[in-house]
Amino acid sequence: MIETERLIYTNERGESIEFSAYSPYFVNVSTDVTGLSDIQNTLYSSSSMGQHGETLTGQKIDAREIDIKGSINKQQKDRVLELRRAALRVLNPELSGTLTYIYKDFVRVIDCKVDNTPVFSRKKIFNDFTIQFSCPSPFWREEQDEKNDIASWIGSFEFDLEIPEDEGLNEDEIGIEFDYREPNIIVDVYNEGDVSTGMRIEFRATGTLSSPILLNMDTGEYIQINAELQAGDVVTVNTEYGSKGATLLRGGITEDYFRYVDVDSTFMQLTIGDNVFRYDAESGVDALEVTLYHSNKYLGV
C-alpha cells in the first residue's frame, strides 16, 4: 500500500487524474495543496443605537477553495505534451467532479468544480502547473452514505428439516422460517460528522398503506406523505440543501411527488450526535418499511 497522501480528481464522465508523489502529475499534497482543512466562517450581526458591541444574528461557512501546485515530472517533450492534453481534457471547467483525498485507509470525498483550465509554466527542468477548484458545499464526506433501516426483513434462513413418519404432526407444526419482520419502529441515527446534515428517506410499501410519516422524537418535526401507496411503491424524500424534494417510484417509473408532502412537514436535518426517529402510517403500518441514508460531513481532512 502506498503510504502517501493522494488527491484524485474525477469528472462527471468518470475520467480521473491523480496528484501525488507517485504520479506523473507530481504533487506533495502536504505542502503543495491549500484549502484541504482551512475554511472561512462568516458571522452576521446587528447593532442598535446606544448598544455596546453587536448582537450575533447568524453565521455561515463559506464555499471552499482548493489550490494545487505541482509539476509534470517528465522531460520528453512528446510525453509532456500528451500529459498536458490529458489534463486539459479531464480538468474541463464545464464538467462537475469530485476530489478524493486518500491516506492509507482514510478516504474523504468532496464535490467540486474546476475554476479554470490548468495553468502551465515551463521551468528549467519540468513543466509546473496550478489548478484551482471551487467547492460550493465546503464539507468533506465519506465514500458511502450511512444507512439505517427501520422495520426491515431480517434473514433467518435455516433448512434442516426432519419429519418422523409416525409422529402425526399437523400443518401448523411443520414449517420453515426463511426470514422475519423486525418489529422496531424507532431508530437512533447517529451523525458523527462536524455539522448537521440532510438525509434521504425511503418509504417502501409491501402492501397497501396510506399517509406514511417519519417523526423526529427529539424535536417533534416530521415528514408525512398524504397519499395511498401500493405494494412495491417507493417514496423518496430528500432533505439535503440544494436537493430537497420527493419522488415516487412505481412500476419502474419515477414521478415528482412533492405535491403530496404534508404542508406542515419539515425537511429535517440531522444534528450532530443522536437523532431518534419513529415511523407510522394512517393505515397499513405493518406494510411499511423505512430506510434513512445520510452523509457525515467534515470540516477538513
136: pLDDT strictly greater than 80: yes
Residue 152 has pLDDT above 50, yes or no: no
Q: Across 59-63, 89-93, 184-188, which has the greatest mean pLDDT?
A: 89-93
Q: List the grid coordinates of 212.
A: 406514511
Least confident piece of the model among 55-64, 86-95, 208-217: 55-64
CA–CA distance from 29 to each of 34, 162, 202, 210, 296 (Å)? 9, 64, 39, 53, 23
Q: Extract the C-alpha cell encoding 264.
A: 406542515
Contact between 268 and 216 (Cβ < 8 Å) = yes
Helix (H) or strand (E) holding 83: helix 77-90
pLDDT digits (tens, 9 = 90+) for 190-227: 999 999 999 999 999 999 999 999 999 999 999 999 99
What local confidence, expressed as pLDDT, does residue 62 receive? 87
How far apart, in whole angstroms, are the C-alpha atoms of residue 288 and residue 229? Answer: 9
pLDDT per position as a tens digit, 244-300: 999 999 999 999 999 999 999 999 999 999 999 999 999 998 899 999 999 999 999
Grid cell at residue 56: 450575533
Q: What is the DSSP string of 137-152?
A: S--EE-SS-EEEEES-
Is 116 a residue whose pLDDT tops 90?
A: no
Q: What is the mean pLDDT of residues 23-41?
A: 90
pLDDT band at 175 (very low <50, low <70, confident <90, very high): low
> Residue 82, SS3?
helix
DSSP 29: H
Structural element, H or E, at residue 238? strand 234-238
pLDDT above 70 as % of the chain: 87
- Residue 151 is predicted with a pLDDT of 58
On whether the CB atoms of residues 226 and 260 are closer than 8 A, the answer is yes
Question: Confidence band (pLDDT; 50, 70, 90) for 61?
Answer: confident
**pLDDT recorded at residue 46:** 86
pLDDT > 80? residue 110: yes
